[in-house]
Structure 1
Amino acid sequence: MPRKRGPGRPRRLPVEEQRGLVLAAARQVFAARGVQGATIEGIARQAGLTRQAVYELFGDKHELFTHTVADTEELAYRTIAERGSGDPELDLKSWARKNYATMFAFVAEHPDALPVLQEAERTGDPAATRLRSRLAEVYTAASGERWAAFGIEPGRADTALVAMYFAMTEVLVTLSWPGEPPDPDALIDLLTEFTIGGVLRLYSHAPDVLDRLR
């Protein structure tokens, strides 16, 4: 009787699939431990690959962190820009609320993304700042069209306002609350009313502020 063949070596995953596994694992580990506390061994274990495989794909830990930051920035940009640039039929308030909700949803779906971008800022790579600037270009055009319905032409002030919106949202979505955190919808409504009402009040009570930024 011929002998049955043994299981043999496990199938080697395609390189792109390995890269995806490593980047996803690295995002989790860098978010939890920072660059200092992360290790290639820990990332390889999280990815289900060997340490040698990670070295072959990305080199050392710092090179892997650079790739992880770039991948995370692109993930955030694609997701948030795509959701924020659509729905031309929405009025200003509905559009603003949808965009705040998008930020909250992104953090819920990718809880490691913002910590990785913030860790990049701490190590000298202005990834979060760069992301805000890129998103501001997309959102400024879309919001300017909607402000026009109120007779407001923010000009360059809109870029500053959009950057402020993102910064406020980042703080609220990652804030540690004493006791039970509030309902995310309440925070989204707060941001919507505060920003829309604030700019309308600014335009009617202190239009010179916007004029100086145009």
Structure 2
Amino acid sequence: MSRRVGRPRKLPVDEQRALILGAARRVFAESGPQAATVEQIAGAAGVTRQAVYETYGGKKELFAEAVKATEELIHAKVGKPALDASEPKLRVWARANYAAMFAFVAEHPDALPLLQQAERAGDPALNRVRARLATIYAEASRARWAAQGVESGRTDKALVAMYFAMTEALVGMSWDEPAPDPEALIDLLTEFTVGGVLRLQGHAPEIIARLR
């Protein structure tokens, strides 16, 4: 006896929320909050329009939730590892943080584009992420810089903001030819930033001193 075709299985609430949120992130990242539609998001999630409205209330609320969830995801995947005190060496620690950013973008390619869309819509989401990470990295790097003879003072926050901006630019860069090996880019960032500051400390320490 063949099985009767009935109504589609209703997903558990948490599973449905995750499906819709993941689809929303992809659609909003590509189209932006104005051009994206609930129909597109529902189709990408494999649910009905009504399910989207019942779960999140509407497109505006869903966009805000997608942005918030993405900020927290970056904090968990990129920010928290920086607080690991088990690696005292500055270069090794810095390289691990650059690698974490590259790995995050590879795993979640829609995250930064979504936050960039939020910025275009007037929500400074990307700046919030930068500021949050800068605070974490500054606190975590201070003792490591001191071990290298660099008393960073207020300099560390400026340095971290620069590091993040360079990493953000490189992970999203388009290349005319095949992209370089990510490991080579991570090594470049590590030496340019850590090695550059150490050379600055040796040849022009007054610049760092003026920023303390």
TM-score, structure 1 length as denominator? 0.93
Q: Which residue of 2 aligns with 1:29?
A: 27
Which residue of the other structure, out of 168, 175, 178, is the alignment partner of 1:177?
175
Give the secondary structure class of the aligned counterpart of 1:153: coil
Superposed displacement of residue 204, structure 1: 2.1
How many Å apart are 1:142 and its aligned residue?
1.5
Correspondences of 1:33-48 after superposition (within 5 Å):
33-48=31-46
Q: Equivalent residue for 1:89? A: 87
Question: In structure 1, how many angstroms separate the alpha carbons of the residues matched to 2:196 and 2:46?
Answer: 50
Name the CA shift for 1:201/1:43 in 2 (closer, same or farther; >3 Å): same
Q: Distance in 2 between matches of 1:4 and 1:132?
A: 57
How many residues in Structure 1 have an aligned counterpart in Structure 2? 212
Q: Percent identity?
A: 62
- 1:132-164 Cα deviation digits (max 9, x unpaired): 111112211211111111121101110111111
Q: What CA distance in whole angstroms lies between the structure 2 residues aligned with 1:103 and 1:155?
A: 25
CA spacing shift, 1:101–1:4, aligned 2, 3 Å: closer
Alignment counterpart, residue 68 of structure 2, candidates 48, 70, 78: 70
Residue matched to 1:104:
102
Give the drift of 1:82: 2.4
How far the C-alpha of 1:87 sits from its partner, in A, is: 4.9
Q: Residue 73 of structure 1 aligns to which amino acid in structure 2?
A: E
Segments of 5+ residues of structure 1 without an aligned counterpart are none
| 1:4 to partner: Cα distance | 8.4
CA distance in 2, matches of 1:65, 1:5: 40
> 1: distance between equivalents of 2:14 and 2:124?
27
Counterparts in 2 of 1:81-160, with a 5 A limit? 81-160=79-158
Residues 39-62 of structure 1 deviation map (CA, whole Å, 9 limit, x = unaligned): 100100111110011011222222
Post-superposition shift, 1:89? 2.7
1:55 aligns with 2:57: no
Q: Which moved more, 1:189-198 or 1:80-89?
A: 80-89
Structure 2: stretches of 5+ with no match in the other structure: none
